[in-house]
Structure 1
Amino acid sequence: MTQDVGQEAGIEPLIGVIGGSGLYNIDGLEDRVWRRVATPWGEPSDELLFGRLRGVRCVFLPRHGRGHPIPPSELNFRANIDALKRSGVTDIISLSAVGSLRDDLPPGSFVLVDQFIDRSFARQKSFFTTGCVAHVPMADPTCPRLGEVILRQAELLDITMRKGGTYLVMEGPQFSTRAESELYREWGCSVIGMTNMPEAKLAREAEMDYASVAMVTDFDCWHEGHDSVTVDAVVEVMQRNSERARNLIRAVIPALGGVRPPCPAGCDRALEHAIITAPEARDPALLEKLDAVAGRVLKR
């Protein structure tokens, strides 16, 4: 079901939602159907949930699969992003459970992430491998247009959300050592998690606007007087966060309906000048795999 998804002005949006720990479904969808989407990069985490929310088309993907069977390091990030792109998704809202690295972000806080530090190391991080090389800009890894809509709806729902913050992406699945936690605090990071990289990088390569909402479940182990992180403690807060996250998504998706404007930051045109491999040196087999992700520029 490959679609040649142009990112020009005037198209109808299709909103993609990636649900992290504790978010495995979207309630209230019309015409809802779970559908398998095949990709040349392997299997996504799960089937995708297609539907409409107050008339706006949307697609939901549980990042870890329903029931949470897949750990962070074994997520097929390329298949997940390709499946969303192949389904026609134009914009991605990513939700993640995280630990806090700041006193003023206690458990239950929401953060609209605007920067990442990627400390993951056991993952495939690009669609562009040997045979077709591309370098997309990542100075500003999230979409300000999506962010403003999310912040506005959070305010209307009386959900306190910090605007801006750096998300440190660790490999996992173990939590941090105390020395690591203190180091990341010295770096000025706000939250720590295991899943937004290379997800955000791949979304940029696929020319999809991407926004990240980080939901704090615990203070990381740096916090004086705070017990070591346990799964039970994380799950308790995660359940409370998940209900507010579902309310937020049910408000944000309809707010993104109507005619979709071009991204002011250029997220939807990231490949415009990114591919460096000469046409005659490109691997035809890789180009075939890139049909959904980069078809807009490769078909010229």
Structure 2
Amino acid sequence: MLAIIGGSGLTQLSSLEIKRREVIRTPYGEPSGALTFGMLCDTPVVFLARHGYGHTIPPHQVNYRANLWALKEAKATEVVSVASVGGIRADFGPGVLVVPDQIIDYTWGRKSTYFEGTEEPVHHIDFTEPYDTRLRQRLLAAAAAAGQHAFDGGVYAATQGPRLETAAEVNRMERDGADLVGMTGMPEAALARELGLPYAALNVVANHAAGRSSSEHSIHFDSIEAVLQDAMIRVRCVLEQLCKV
């Protein structure tokens, strides 16, 4: 069963034929909200709003471990993350869709593994390619079939939040090789890998990153909502097509 984690701009799937909602308890506390089970294009899907259904949980306080654990308990077999990001690369402007292929983690202090404590053995995962290759390709194929262009590849920089970045920080990330900047990609991707859940992301560029183009001197929040409203319509088309392929 496909699991979809919705970020800013995607707190619900309007085309999801809802069957039930279920609160799942985990050893790691409460998930961001109840899981919504339903059918999307005749395919079973479970949906979770990462920031809560009222968008009340900031990125650094999301219980990523509980979220992924709950999806695994719900019999999810793969996870697609939808998240809004800032575009660092010049051609990653507002409204662009990207299926990233790499991550740089700048977060700190987040609970980032299931294997910790004196009773747990040390556990290392291979994270050379943080996103599942097959699921990435299916996302790209779904975008093409839906008539939506999505860039194949990009380096996602995960920052702590909830504040946005300074121009100097974005300059540093660009020197490090980052193309996109967001706040929720880690430890979500690593936890999915620990649980053996294929994981891929569909990123929506909401704005140019700090110090870039129209964001050279400040981020214009008034335009972000309009960008996301339009982009999420296209994201839903991609997700619907993903359920058909």
Question: Under a length normalisation based on structure 2, what TM-score does the superposition of the two structures give?
Answer: 0.95
Task: Give, in whole Å, the separation in 1 of the partners of 2:239 and 2:14.
Answer: 10
Q: 2:192 aligns with which of 186, 189, 203?
A: 203
Task: Give, in whole Å, the separation in 1 of the partners of 2:47 and 2:173.
Answer: 31
1:26 is paired with a residue of what secondary structure? coil
Cα displacement (A) at 1:224: 4.3
Tell me the residue number matched to 1:264. none
Cα displacement (A) at 1:35: 1.3
Please give the per-residue CA displacement for 1:45-66, whole angstroms capped at 9, x wherever unaligned: 0111101223321100000011
Contact 1:147 1:211 in 2 (8 A): yes
CA RMSD of superposed structures (Å): 1.2
Contact 1:17 1:61 in 2 (8 A): yes
Q: AA paired with 1:71? A: P
Task: Give, in whole Å, the separation in 1 of the partners of 2:67 and 2:113.
Answer: 13
Structure 1 position 237 matched with structure 2 position 227 = yes
Contact 2:145 2:241 in 1 (8 A): no
Task: Give, in whole Å, the separation in 2 of the partners of 1:225 and 1:107.
Answer: 10
**Aligned pairs (5 A) from 1:64-143:** 64-130=51-117, 131-132=119-120, 133-143=122-132
Cα displacement (A) at 1:233: 2.4
Tell me the residue number matched to 2:32. 45
Contact 2:18 2:36 in 1 (8 A): no
Tell me the residue number matched to 1:165. 154
Task: Give, in whole Å, the separation in 2 of the partners of 1:89 and 1:68.
Answer: 23
Question: Under a length normalisation based on structure 1, what TM-score does the superposition of the two structures give?
Answer: 0.78
Instruction: Name stretches of at least 5 consecutive residues in structure 2 with no aligned partner.
Output: none
Tell me the residue number matched to 1:292. none
Contact 1:17 1:58 in 2 (8 A): yes
Contact 2:32 2:67 in 1 (8 A): yes
The number of equivalent residue pairs is 242
Tell me the residue number matched to 2:11. 24
Task: Give, in whole Å, the separation in 1 of the partners of 2:169 and 2:127.
Answer: 25
Task: Give, in whole Å, the separation in 1 of the partners of 2:213 and 2:201.
Answer: 28
Cα displacement (A) at 1:31: 5.0
Contact 2:157 2:178 in 1 (8 A): yes
Greater Cα radius of gyration, structure 1 or 2:
1
1:194–1:31 distance in 2 versus 1, CA, 3 Å: closer
Contact 1:53 1:254 in 2 (8 A): no
2:205 is paired with a residue of what secondary structure? strand
1:41–1:142 distance in 2 versus 1, CA, 3 Å: same
Task: Give, in whole Å, the separation in 1 of the partners of 2:170 and 2:41.
Answer: 42
**Aligned pairs (5 A) from 1:287-298:** none
